[in-house]
Amino acid sequence: MWYFLNFLLGIILGSFLNVIIYRSVEGIKIYDPPRSFCPICKHQLKWYDNVPLLSYLLLRGKCRYCGSKIPFRYFFVECIVGVLFLIHSILFNYTEAILLNIIVFAIIPAIFIDFSIMMIPDFSWILIWTVSIIDLLLRYELWYLKTLSLITIMIIFLVIKKIYKEGLGEGDIYLIAPFSFLLIPPLSIYLLLFSSISALIYAIIKKNKIIPFGPFISISGYFLYFFMLKYY
Ligand SMILES: [Zn+2]
């Protein structure tokens, strides 16, 4: 029952994140208009068009009113948040699961919005800082390692930023700072390594010099924190 409730909470929050992602990318206010609508025909959606996972499946990925395709992203985000919340509730204790859930809630919109419009929403880095502070209170004896980690990563990051002026956006530093304080060495060094390497591979595949760095910091940071909670 506890696991199922976590999954349910995950798909509901995933559904809400879809709204945040869509409205941020389109530049629409999050709460105005209050009801969801179809982006193509603008028809207001009924509650039964908005049931996480089920509506997408029952409507076979099409709008009930105009038949246009609903992006697969809607289903994917609800599914991934639900599954991750479920995994956290199985593998971790209550507090750890909540901390990991908050990270997922913060990074999913950061990943999708940064890929679309190269911007990271403020609430994402604020939430990761919140988790970092709570984690510090839970393992206060590690404060010096966390501080060392934050200072080291910031220095390295600022040096890289000076060398590749156009390569790194302003938003990246907002994301990497709370993650460096959340993780302890050597995990914070891995954060820098994993995110740079994956971003580089992505840049080579895409043949694009300017790529969003936020998604790679987010994904690396999440997995490393997952690992840290499990094994440290
Ligand atoms: Zn429609």
Find the 65 Cα to ligand 1 centroid distance in Å.
5
Q: Is there a single domain that holds both residue 146 and residue 226? A: yes
Rounded distance from Cα 76 to ligand 1 centre (Å)? 20
Task: Look at residues 68, 91, 114 and tell me which one is the last residue of a structural domain.
Answer: 91
In this structure, the answer to whether residues 205 and 179 fall within a common structural domain is: yes
CA of 130 to the centre of ligand 1 (A): 38
For residues 15 and 13, what is the distance between their CA atoms, to the nearest angstrom? 5
Contact criterion met (CB below 8 Å) for 104 and 85: yes
Picking from 42, 70, 91, the residue at the C-terminal end of a domain is 91
Distance 30 CA to ligand 1 centre (A): 20
**% of the chain beyond a pLDDT of 70:** 98
69 Cα: distance to centroid of ligand 1 (angstroms): 8
Same domain, 81 and 115: no
User: Ligand 1 centre and the CA of 220: distance in Å?
Assistant: 37
Ligand 1 centre to CA of 182 (Å) is 43
Query: Looking at 63, 91, 119, which one is the last position of a domain?
Result: 91
Predicted local distance difference test score (pLDDT) of residue 166? 67
Instruction: List, as ranges, residues with CB under 5 A of the ion ligand 1.
Output: 38, 40-41, 63, 65-66
In terms of domains, do 195 and 142 share one? Answer: yes
Same domain, 34 and 131: no
Q: What is the distance in A from the centroid of ligand 1 to the CA of 15?
A: 18
Residue 21 C-alpha to ligand 1 middle, in angstroms? 18
61 and 174 together in one domain = no
Same domain, 83 and 140: no
Give distance in angstroms: CA of 49 to centre of ligand 1. Answer: 11
| 107, 132: one domain | yes
Give distance in angstroms: CA of 58 to centre of ligand 1.
15
Q: Which residues pair with 37 in a beta bridge?
A: 44
Over residues 120-131, the pLDDT tens digits come to 999 999 999 999
Are residues 114 and 44 part of one domain? no
In which residue ranges of the chain is pLDDT below 70? 166-169
For residue 142, report the distance from its CA to the centre of ligand 1, in Å: 53
Number of domains composing the chain: 2
What's the gap in Å between 100 CA and the centre of ligand 1? 35
Q: What values do phi and psi take at 204, rounded to 5?
A: -70, -45
Q: How far apart are the CA of 56 and the centre of ligand 1, in A?
A: 13
Considering the domain architecture, whether residues 137 and 65 belong to the same structural domain is answered as no
Q: pLDDT tens for residues 81-117?
A: 999 999 999 999 999 999 999 999 999 999 999 999 9
**Residue span of the structural domain in which 176 resides:** 95-232
Nearest 5°: the CA angle 17, 8, 66 is: 55
* 100 in the same domain as 66: no
122 shares its domain with 232: yes
